[in-house]
Amino acid sequence: MSNIIVIILVVPMISWVFEHENYIKSIIIYFSRFLKTSTRLYLGIMTITQLISCFLLIASIPVTYHFISDFLNSKYKEAWEYLKSTAILRAFGLITFWSISLPSFAYGVEVLHADLSLTLLNGFLLSFCGILISVFIFHFINNKDNIHLNNEITINLTNDLPSNSIVKKTINEFIVLLISLLGSIVIFYFLLPLSLLIILPLVAIIWTITFFLVKKDIRAFISKLSFFMKKEIPLKAKEVVVFFTAGFVVASLNHTDFDEAIVEVMYQFSEKVSWMNFLFIIPFTLAFLGFIGMPPVASMVLVVGVLQGITLPYPAHLVVLSLATGSLLSILNSPFTTPGLLLSSVNGLSSFKNTFKRNWLFTLIFFTFAQLYIQFLWMTF
């Protein structure tokens, strides 16, 4: 539990690197040449959000929304709001399947002793398929609105463009940063006899300091560190309390027969409904916790802590993928979780509309696909 709290406090340092240069603007400008239709724009926003989420984590939701809104003048139209909000929220939900810089993913992999390579490979594939499903739904269900949006995209995406050389330089730098961050975590994990929960904050600190040293702007680092210690850490007190509470709950349950009761219930379900096994039930536990207001990471900590004491017949990487599916259900459908509330704070719409109302169809289709994929892997394991 102490490790996950350290991650929550330290990993946000990664965002300091992203705030130092206009990476988001350069990415949007670079992709703009390909975004000639609303469907391509939708795909582009989802891709950009996933890339940014590796650095900014949950803060990528409001940051990406503001940049996209500033870039597109028609930001208050209903059709534009649907395009932006669903693309950003779904992309963030899908990154929980593969981004090793996310605390929830790292915690699940480490505590359940999942194979990192298999988890990353299958998680990235599920995330990629989820993006395609989302784009498919947007293209065919919103076909009438797409015609009007297409006429506005060309105009809005051709204003205030910096030189191509500056854009290319910034994009190349961003690619190097992305590869160095994720690559360092993976390489250290396989080479060093350390826990992933230790490697993640360690890499975050070293990687961030190295960036400012290379940029020869250590004053900016000291300034951000000072602000972080004085202003941001106190604001994380409530978040830390939630994790301590989850830890106490897990510790209490581990001293009872709760895990045995869970296994017994699962076996009874399996006997009555042959296709309903533990991998199918797990996502709904995280979704339930999301609907009562528990943040996705805290939900993951609680559920993983309980599962840690249960001997399951399933490969650990499939359990992690099932947990990631549950996080997606929580993020996209619960109006009480942080992602939905953050999006509502920037677009002014109700959290219910941003989450369940706009995402229930995608959630239903993707959950069905993800379960078929996970169950297939289990049967062929």
Q: With 0.75 as the threshold, say if the pTM is over it.
A: yes
For 81, what's the count of Cα atoms within 13 Å in the CB-facing half-sphere? 14
Q: What is the pLDDT of residues 245-268, one digit of tens each?
A: 766 666 666 666 665 666 667 667
> Comparing 58-67, 149-158, 302-311, which segment has the lowest mean pLDDT?
149-158
Task: Write the CB contacts of 104 (distance below 8 Å, at least 6 apart in sequence).
Answer: 96, 296, 297, 300, 301, 327
1 band by pLDDT with thresholds 50, 70 and 90: low
Please provide the size of the chain in residues.
Answer: 381
Q: Report CA-CA distances (Å) from 64 to 22, 44, 149, 209, 214.
A: 12, 12, 19, 25, 26
CA distance 158 to 29: 9
Distance CA 303, CA 314 (A): 16
Inform me whether the pLDDT recorded for 335 exceeds 70: yes
Q: List Cα–Cα distances, 326 to 35, 131, 167, in angstroms.
A: 32, 17, 38
Q: What is the pLDDT of residue 145?
A: 60
**Chain segment 94-105, per-residue pLDDT in tens:** 999 999 989 889
Q: Is the pLDDT reported for residue 111 higher than 70?
A: yes
